């Protein structure tokens, strides 16, 4: 009798445990009741009929977005209209790795165009405006389980009518039809190796990217044969970024206060101070420029406290005082180019 009772109790406990485990698993996989900007499930696609203006943004924008989510929006307009997208100035996602957005990113795909969508991450500049060529755009936001950033992103969308009298946009000729000067000018304005390859070969740029860094003796030369060059080669994106950072930028300069302030009646201590002034060359200006000069684009006046020594009248020694002196600092620089008009 006691053995039967024990078996009955064991069976009931096993059923209760299985039921509790099952309910826990189901609960952990149920989508939240609260929608995340119109999408409840990370595998669903939210279809939005664009009939006016609206916004799409990362959850909790402009604060830190959640980890490990995927949100997809499909914007659909009527056939005789286009969709215009405008990024909010506040933009920040997890930084790229080796110049590639691998982890957290937002990407936009125009279904009327071939090729991969545009993709943005980190704090890189985003497009001012995007206008679709067709009537549908897909926006996808992905975050992994590490390092969510803020503020995320926000994209404003609106309709743009396409009238029958609207002139066709003149596209740039294919790279194969451009002369060396035109091609060099176009390539110089691109930001990454990926953009260069997409510009040169829109249909097969991915294959070109894969082939680009494959080690071969005729590409990598003796340095590869003698194991002096890594398999991946140089980081071309980093090389370009270094040029951008150190060509025509604000940098530290030391100035003599008596000369800077044109004061010959006083002695300053320290006699020299550091200021930010534009420096570096403008070698990467447009090839059509006749001359190029690195000039300040934004100037600020800052005050520095120094010791000032002046002679007293009547041979009464030196007057000593602490004084704020204003010095000019260059906060932004730009290359002022003059085109060759001859």
- Tokens 């206060």 locate to 257
Detail the DSSP E strand segments found in the chain.
45-49, 54-57, 69-76, 81-87, 105-110, 118-120, 130-131, 136-143, 154-161, 249-256, 267-269, 272-279, 289-311, 318-339
pLDDT exceeds 70 at position 188: yes
85-106 average pLDDT score? 87
Q: What is the pLDDT of residue 295?
A: 87
Instruction: Compute φ and ψ for 81, nearest 5 degrees.
Output: -135, 155
Q: What is the pLDDT of residue 45?
A: 83
Q: What is the pLDDT of residue 4?
A: 62
pLDDT exceeds 80 at position 248: yes
Is 333 within 8 Å of 294 (Cβ atoms)?
yes
pLDDT exceeds 60 at position 115: no
**3-state SS, residue 10:** helix
Q: What is the pLDDT of residue 244?
A: 74
3-state secondary structure 234-285: CCHHHHHHHHHHHCCEEEEEEEEHHHHHCCCCCEEECCEEEEEEEECCCCCC
Question: Which among 271, 42, 244 has a CA at the least distance from the CA of 141?
Answer: 42
Domain assignments of the chain as residue spans, ordered by start: 45-160, 244-339
User: How far is residue 278 from each of residues 242, 258, 292, 303, 325, measured CA to CA in Å?
Assistant: 16, 21, 14, 19, 21
Tokens linked to 230:
């890594």
Q: Which carries the bigger pLDDT value, residue 34 or residue 139?
A: 139
Q: Report how far residue 240's alpha carbon sits from residue 335's, in angstroms, rounded to the nearest whole number.
A: 17
Q: Is residue 63 exposed (0-12), middle (13-18) or buried (19+ Cβ within 10 Å)? A: exposed
pLDDT exceeds 90 at position 73: yes
Query: How do 69-76 and 45-49 pair as beta strands?
Result: parallel
pLDDT exceeds 80 at position 260: yes
Q: Report how far residue 175's alpha carbon sits from residue 200's, in angstroms, rounded to the nearest whole number.
A: 6
Q: What is the pLDDT of residue 3?
A: 58
pLDDT exceeds 80 at position 270: yes
**3-state SS, residue 226:** coil
Span of 49-63, 199-213, 244-258 with lowest mean pLDDT: 199-213
Q: What is the pLDDT of residue 15?
A: 52
Same fold, 45-160 and 244-339: no
219-230 average pLDDT score? 47
Tokens linked to 227:
């194991």
Q: What is the pLDDT of residue 20?
A: 39
User: How far is residue 283 from each of residues 293, 311, 314, 336, measured CA to CA in Å?
Assistant: 9, 49, 57, 12
pLDDT band per the 50, 70, 90 thresholds, residue 116: low
Q: Topology of domain 45-160, per CATH?
A: Jelly Rolls (2.60.120)
Is 144 within 8 Å of 104 (Cβ atoms)?
yes
Q: Residues 121-174: pLDDT tens digits?
A: 888 778 878 888 888 899 999 999 888 888 999 999 998 876 544 444 344 556
Q: Does domain 244-339 have CATH number 1.10.3720.10?
A: no
310-338 average pLDDT score? 84
Q: What is the pLDDT of residue 265?
A: 85
Return mean pLDDT, the chain. 75
Q: Which carries the bigger pLDDT value, residue 83 or residue 339?
A: 83
Q: Residues 56-69: pLDDT tens digits?
A: 999 999 999 999 99
pLDDT band per the 50, 70, 90 thresholds, residue 23: very low
Q: What is the pLDDT of residue 24?
A: 33
Q: Residues 329-342: pLDDT tens digits?
A: 998 888 877 665 54
């Amino acid at each position: 009798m006691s053995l039967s009772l024990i078996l009955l109790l064991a069976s009931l406990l096993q059923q209760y445990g299985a039921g509790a485990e099952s309910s826990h698993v189901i609960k952990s996989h149920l989508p939240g009741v609260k929608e995340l900007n119109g999408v409840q499930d990370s595998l669903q696609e939210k279809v939005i009929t664009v009939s006016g203006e609206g916004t799409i943004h990362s959850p909790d924008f402009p604060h830190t977005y959640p980890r490990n989510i995927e949100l997809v929006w499909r914007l659909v307009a009527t056939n005789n209209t286009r969709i215009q997208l405008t990024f909010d100035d506040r933009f920040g996602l997890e930084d790229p790795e080796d110049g590639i957005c691998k982890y957290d990113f937002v990407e936009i795909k125009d279904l009327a165009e071939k090729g991969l969508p545009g993709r943005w991450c980190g704090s890189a500049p985003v497009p001012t405006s995007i206008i679709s060529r067709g009537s549908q755009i897909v926006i996808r936001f992905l975050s992994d389980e590490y390092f969510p950033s803020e503020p995320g992103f926000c994209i404003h969308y609106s309709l743009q009518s396409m009238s029958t009298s609207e002139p066709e946009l003149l596209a740039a000729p294919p790279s194969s039809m451009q002369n060396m000067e035109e091609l060099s000018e176009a390539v110089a304005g691109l930001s990454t190796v990926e953009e260069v390859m997409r510009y040169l070969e829109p249909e097969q740029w991915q294959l070109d990217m894969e082939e680009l860094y494959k080690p071969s003796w005729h590409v990598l030369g003796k340095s590869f044969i003698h194991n002096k060059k890594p398999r991946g080669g140089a980081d071309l994106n980093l090389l370009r970024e270094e040029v951008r950072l150190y060509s025509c930028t604000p940098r530290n300069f030391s100035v003599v206060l008596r000369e800077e302030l044109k004061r010959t009646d006083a002695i300053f201590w320290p006699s020299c101070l550091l200021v930010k002034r534009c420096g570096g060359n403008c070698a990467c200006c447009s090839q059509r420029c006749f001359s190029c000069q690195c000039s300040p684009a934004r100037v600020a006046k800052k005050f520095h406290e120094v010791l000032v020594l002046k002679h007293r009248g009547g041979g009464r020694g030196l007057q000593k005082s602490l004084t704020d002196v204003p010095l000019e600092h260059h906060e932004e620089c730009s290359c002022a180019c003059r085109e060759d008009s001859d």
